[in-house]
């Protein structure tokens, strides 16, 4: 059972080492995380980007490039296109964002002819290890979908559940978060939560247990749920929190990190392979654990 982020490292080390291709790899923080992942025997890197800059950074951080495939592509978007082609040609297993705008990388990923689309919605899936919760807690979507409609929320749920299944965690408990625990027709988040819950009960969403609407206190605390008279298998035991929009997701993500003492590992799900797409504000540990998360997935 994966209960801590370090368990992801152990799980990844038990699998065949993955090939990680980095688009626009001339990024010091990214290369530091990649170097650590190599040292932990998690991945074999393929670095695409400005070769001289990559070599300079590698020298500064004492990263050994002997035997590392290094492709000199100065143009940022072309480096993203080539990285995506490596995935399509089965030359790499994981895609990682380097020093390139998220939009540019995703443009290459979502290209209808040469990209990595599977047909559904891409979404951001973040795993948190918090000192105040008894297991890893996933938050989705904090970075990709601005105001998802119901059909997009179905894909967001399915992507997060797929991430858990790839880690060997069956039937994760999914909480659909809202401000209140009752359905209010004037609050779309509660209506969507009720629909998603009913779809799960009727096997339209499978491989998980869904409940909502639930407020945050009930999601993470059985005592809070019992105090409010809420009977739920998800309350206090949630594995996944699905947020109504990017505002709630982003605030929850950063609150856990900067106020709650949590460490995160995050990937983009819904493409042909997991995509490691970290923020500049993410810690070095978070970047490393995001690589471990992707490498731990079967």
* 103 part of a folded domain: yes
Q: Is residue 175 part of a domain?
A: yes
Does residue 180 sit within a domain? yes
Beta bridge partners of 266: 126
Q: Describe the strand order of the beta sheet including 240-242 as a list of residue ranges.
A: 69-72, 43-49, 18-23, 94-97, 275-276, 263-269, 123-129, 137-140, 240-242, 173-177, 209-214
What's the chain's Rg over C-alpha atoms?
19
pLDDT score of 120: 81
Low-confidence ranges of the chain (pLDDT < 70): none
Question: Are 247 and 130 within one domain?
Answer: yes
Determine the structural domain holding residue 290 and report its residue range. 5-117+271-296
Together in a domain, 131 and 205: yes
Residues 27 and 51 in one domain: yes
**Domain harbouring 290, CATH code:** 3.40.50.10950
Please write the tens of the pLDDT for every residue from 73-124: 999 999 999 999 999 999 999 999 999 999 999 999 999 999 998 878 999 9
* The total number of structural domains that make up the chain: 2
Does a structural domain hold residue 158?
yes
At residue 284, the pLDDT reads 83
Answer whether residue 277 is part of any domain.
Answer: yes
pLDDT of 1 reads: 73
Q: For residue 246, give the CATH number of its domain.
A: 3.40.718.10
- DSSP secondary structure code for residue 117 in this structure: B
């Amino acid at each position: 059972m994966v209960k801590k982020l370090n368990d992801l490292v152990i799980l990844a080390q038990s699998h065949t080492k993955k090939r990680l291709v980095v688009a626009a790899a001339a990024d010091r923080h990214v290369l530091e995380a990649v170097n650590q992942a190599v040292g932990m025997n998690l991945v074999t890197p393929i670095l695409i980007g400005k070769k001289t800059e990559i070599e300079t950074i590698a020298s500064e951080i004492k990263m050994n490039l002997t035997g590392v495939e290094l492709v000199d592509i100065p143009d940022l978007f072309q480096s993203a296109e080539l990285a995506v082609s490596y995935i399509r040609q089965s030359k790499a297993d994981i895609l990682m964002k380097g020093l390139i705008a998220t939009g540019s990388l995703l443009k290459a990923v979502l290209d209808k002819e040469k990209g990595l689309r599977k047909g559904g919605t891409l979404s951001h899936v973040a795993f948190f290890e918090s000192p105040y919760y008894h297991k890893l807690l996933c938050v989705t979507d904090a970075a990709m979908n601005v105001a998802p409609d119901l059909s997009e929320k179905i894909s967001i749920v399915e992507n997060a559940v797929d991430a858990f299944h790839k880690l060997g965690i069956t039937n994760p408990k999914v909480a659909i978060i809202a401000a209140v625990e009752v359905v209010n027709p004037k609050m779309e988040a509660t209506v969507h939560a009720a629909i998603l819950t009913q779809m799960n009960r009727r096997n339209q969403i499978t491989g998980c247990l869904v409940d909502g609407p639930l407020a945050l206190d009930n999601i993470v605390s059985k005592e809070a749920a019992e105090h409010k008279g809420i009977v739920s298998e998800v309350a206090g035991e949630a594995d996944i929190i699905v947020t109504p929009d990017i505002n709630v997701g982003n605030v929850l993500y950063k609150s856990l990190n900067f106020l709650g003492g949590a460490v995160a590992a995050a990937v983009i799900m819904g493409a042909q392979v997991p995509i490691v797409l970290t923020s500049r504000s993410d810690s070095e540990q978070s970047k490393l654990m995001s690589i471990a998360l992707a490498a731990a997935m079967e």
